Amino acid sequence: MKEKSPDFEIRRLGKPTIPSPITLGYFMSDSRRVLYDPYLHSDSPRIAGDAPLSIEIAGPRETIYFDPAQTKAAIVTCGGLSPGINDVIRAVVMGLYYRYGVKEIVGIRYGFQGLVPEYGHEPAVLTPEVVKDIHTLGGSILSSSRGSQDITTIVDTLCEMNINLFFCVGGDGTMRAAERIAEEIRQRDVKMGVIGIPKTIDNDLNLIDKTFGFDTAISMVVNAIQCAHVEAKGAPMGIGLVKIMGRESGHIVLNATLAQNDVNFALIPEVPFDLEGEKGLLKILEKRLLERKHAVILVAEGAGQNLCAGIGPKQTDASGNIRLQDIGTYLKTQIEGYFEKRGLEINLKYIDPSYTIRSVPANASDSIYCELLGQFAVHAGMAGKTELVVGLFKGEYVHLPLKSVASRKKVNTKGNLWMRVLEATGQPASMKN
């Protein structure tokens, strides 16, 4: 059975008839699109007729749907912290206020909890004066939260607040929630736009080239690797063990390994490994130490969960995610125990910089990206487009339906990037017996 082609059509609230107040003379047509498959293989997905599947490019439109003088916007940030959230908030506020003249902008505090009255979180009034310096700060000035809330209550609150544009900053769980919110709004026949801005430090949102905060995370992880390498080389049989983010995918591990070519073992969720046995990690690590006297191990938090699965009962967090066992401390214990039994003295230093990385301000690269995401989100919303995510796809800023990105992308373990990591580290392609 032939796989169904994805649907990239973007829903509109109605026909835009108001001339845009933007005076730059730069506008984007809805007809300008980027190919879903730029290589056009013979089996590339196609739409009706012979036209190849394509995706709408983001940018300001010549006519807009919402009258700026009558428009009220809200911004919410959800899930874990990531560098650049404040940059996005600032870009949305500045874009609405200065480019379009929207004066009523509010921030929803503590994620979707802020739209459930029983929590008592009052919204924040956002103006250029309030947000002008927030890009220098880490975290989110609106704070965040995890966990699902009642969709009906959320939409009731948005309607009571007379919100016309709702900007949701978050990861795959937030995008799924935004899709449900948009569906409830549509069923009520309310003219309210829902725009997603993708945020996950793990860079694992489907179809999105890069999520904001990822570049900052890489640069911070590189610092941790450098420290681990110094510690490993500073003592006989030294081991630097670094655990970083990567719940279901190892994109940070891959890129940091290539950025700082001092890692000898890169462990990711997509590639299972054994500890014991001739092909297991411990035996290969021993060989490395005997030959080179030091080693650096970089492990994603979701790697090797099968090895430590029996340590404690399975629990879930507020968002329904299974709470991971601490693979970092588990590996530390197992490595130390193995070499003690072998009568070999090692010097192991364990580093976990995860929360330090999440809470720092964005670097220059991420700041630029956040500014553009915020601007394009505002353009899409004011044009009356809804149920979409603004993101980078094949190097172009595009509009993607919410439903198309609400899943995680994995590392391609047969792809070029993983092959480069294997070459850089020298580790075997498989550490399974």
pLDDT in tens, 175-212: 999 999 999 999 999 999 999 999 989 999 989 999 99
pLDDT tens digits, one per residue of 304-313: 999 987 665 5
What are the phi and psi torsion angles at 169 (to 5°)? Answer: -105, 115
Residues 54, 344: Cα–Cα separation, whole Å: 59
pLDDT tens digits, one per residue of 108-141: 999 999 999 999 999 999 999 999 999 999 999 9
Q: What would the mean pLDDT of 311-334 be, rounded to a whole number? A: 76
Residues 212, 199: Cα–Cα separation, whole Å: 6
**Would the pLDDT of 60 be above 90?**
yes
| Per annotation, catalytic residue among 87, 202, 262, 274 | 202
Q: What would the mean pLDDT of 230-248 be, rounded to a whole number? A: 96
Q: What is the pLDDT of residue 228?
A: 97
Q: What is the pLDDT of residue 312?
A: 57
Residues 6+ apart with CB under 8 A from 214: 201, 202, 203, 251, 252, 255, 366
Distance (Å) of CA 94 to CA 80, 200, 379, 395, 424: 24, 23, 12, 24, 43
Supply the CATH classification number for the domain 11-211+360-405: 3.40.50.450
Residue 236's CB: how many other CB atoms inside 10 A? 11
Q: Can 11-211+360-405 and 215-359+413-425 be said to share one CATH topology? A: yes
Q: What is the pLDDT of residue 148?
A: 87
Q: How confident is the model at residue 267 (pLDDT cuts 50, 70, 90)?
A: very high
Q: What is the pLDDT of residue 311?
A: 61
Q: What is the pLDDT of residue 214?
A: 94
User: What is the average pLDDT score of the chain?
Assistant: 92
Supply the CATH classification number for the domain 215-359+413-425: 3.40.50.460
Please tell me which residue, 51 or 70, carries the higher pLDDT value. Answer: 70
Contact 246, 268 (CB under 8 A): yes
Q: What is the pLDDT of residue 365?
A: 95
Residues 6+ apart with CB under 8 A from 6: 36, 45, 53, 404
Residue 261's CB: how many other CB atoms inside 10 A? 11
189 is a catalytic site residue: no
Q: How confident is the model at residue 1 (pLDDT cuts 50, 70, 90)?
A: very low
Residue spans of the domains in the chain: they are: 11-211+360-405, 215-359+413-425
Q: How confident is the model at residue 147 (pLDDT cuts 50, 70, 90)?
A: confident
Q: Is the pTM of this model over 0.75?
A: yes
Residues 147, 272: Cα–Cα separation, whole Å: 29
**Would the pLDDT of 159 be above 80?**
yes
